[in-house]
Amino acid sequence: MYLHLGDEISVRRRDIVAICDYSSKPIREDTPSLIITPTAKEKKPKAVVFTDKGVYLSALSPLTLRGRG
């Protein structure tokens, strides 16, 4: 099963490690070990989705993402 993160980006649910609130722990842009894929192109990110393959920023809230599926 897949989780839609917004802007035509979907990830497999089993690959998701964590879904966090973006405002609680902002990601430092100089962190070289993370591959950050923004799904919120013109919107402020609300959630950070950590997967086995990378990190995604989503304009959808963590509560909305957790409630899907």
Q: Are 13 and 69 in contact (CB under 8 A)?
A: yes
How many folded domains does the chain comprise? 1
For residue 61, pLDDT over 90 is answered with yes
Both tokens of residue 46?
């609300």
Both tokens of residue 60?
């959808």
Q: What is the reported pLDDT for 15? A: 95
Q: Give the helix ranges, DSSP H, for the chain.
A: 62-67
Between 47 and 24, the higher pLDDT residue:
47
Residues spanned by the domain of 42: 2-67
Q: What is the reported pLDDT for 2? A: 94
For residue 10, pLDDT over 80 is answered with yes
Using pLDDT thresholds of 50, 70 and 90, give the confidence band for residue 4: very high
Q: Are 22 and 46 in contact (CB under 8 A)?
A: yes
* Single-letter code of the amino acid located at 8: E
